[in-house]
Amino acid sequence: MKESIEQTRSTMLPYGKQWIDEDDIAAVVQVLQSDFITQGPAIERFERKVADYVGAMYAVAFCNGTAALHGASFAAGIGPGDEVITTPITFLASSNCVLYTGGKPVFADIDSETYNIDPNDIERKITKQTKAIIAVDFTGQPAEIDKIERIARKHNLLVIHDAAHSLGASYENRMVGSYGDMTMFSFHPVKHVTTGEGGVIVTNDAALFERLRLFRNHGMTRDSHNMTRNDGPWYYEMTDLGYNYRMTDMQAALGFSQMDKLDSFIERRRQIAAQYNKALIDMPGLVLPYQHPDTSSSWHLYVVRWDESCFSVGRNQIFNDLRAENIGVNVHYIPVYKQPYYSKLGYEDNQCAEAEVYYNTAISLPIFPLMSEQDQDDVIHAVTKIYNRYRIK
């Protein structure tokens, strides 16, 4: 087959992108014309909508997902001397939130098929200092939360579920967010719905709910039951060291409107993933995403691995060539322990064998609801073109 010399696209196709419509714009304008653009009623309406959707009792909105994870670490009581086990194949915030409260992240390796944290390695990494597990639903496929929760109960640990990738996904027919001690969802523009920046923690625990609310608002309360005295209606007390991590009403209004489209957004992501599977399945050397039979992914990412033994060049050359075709591929993620800051803290490189194999071979293809059929065809064409260029016959 003769390779086409022409570039696949004239403009760059990003790996992810928001979809904002007129209803979303109108919802934000309505807030801008109201009495409250922050600390108003739109926040609670959005929180209630997210909690109801996932089947949780409580939700606490934050200005971004990282702040939400910081809040979860605080609410869990993680502090100096405490260890928290998480995955290295994640964004920095999943482990940084432990550092923020003085704890120590411990990295367990990933499962070679799902790329989620390996429950068996979690158990191997538990010590007397372990306080919690942060399980990440990488690419939108839920981690094996049943096994993780059994391990947590056995060792009296809290489970923080980093579901930044998996709003709308399910495990054993239960919505992500309906289990675990706390679950975080992210609303960054490349996620399933967006508030610009934003995050939320959902929980079924009333005590954790109250600690989260306290933390996002300077550690300040006006609840007379939690104050040492009450000087009058204006009076408030700071009972703990919190932060200003509040979400604005503008963000919440956008998120409330976006939630109405969540199911259709996820269905579109699943259609694109199915189309990629169909087009790429018969290409030896490409490792397509494995789906655990108990999960229903919300497909935040579509990751293809390139078996190094099947190609004449490595992943980096393939990545650069796909970018040259104006396909905005990406790599998710660099193992966290490789970061220079973590090296300064004493973390060793190459400490998780499966994570290293994954990192050296993974490329994320574009997947987002606003993609057209032509966009999908362009991705498939570019992948096929580069595949044929470097495939060892």
CB 38 within 8 A of CB 244: no
Q: Look up tokens 């935040």; give the residue.
A: 300
Q: How far is CA 352 from the centre of its chain?
A: 21
Pairing verdict, β 295-296 and 362-365: unpaired
3-state secondary structure of 312: coil
Nearest to 94 by CA among 118, 70, 110, 113: 70
Joined together, the tokens standing for residue 50 give 């997210």
Rounded CA separation 312/285 (Å) = 11
Strands 170-171 and 174-175: antiparallel
Distance, in Å, from the CA atom of 95 to the CA atom of 17, rounded to the nearest integer, reads 25
Which of helix, strand or coil describes residue 35?
Answer: coil
Strand order in the sheet with 302-306: 286-287, 302-306, 362-365
Known catalytic membership, residue 104: no
Token code pair at residue 246:
């509040």
Q: Of the residues 131, 191, 338, 385, which is catalytic?
A: 191
Rounded distance between C-alpha atoms, residue 272 and residue 367, angstroms: 7
Q: 251-263 burial string, b = 16+ CB within 10 Å, else e?
A: bbbbbbbbbebbe
For the annotated catalytic residues, the residue numbers are 191
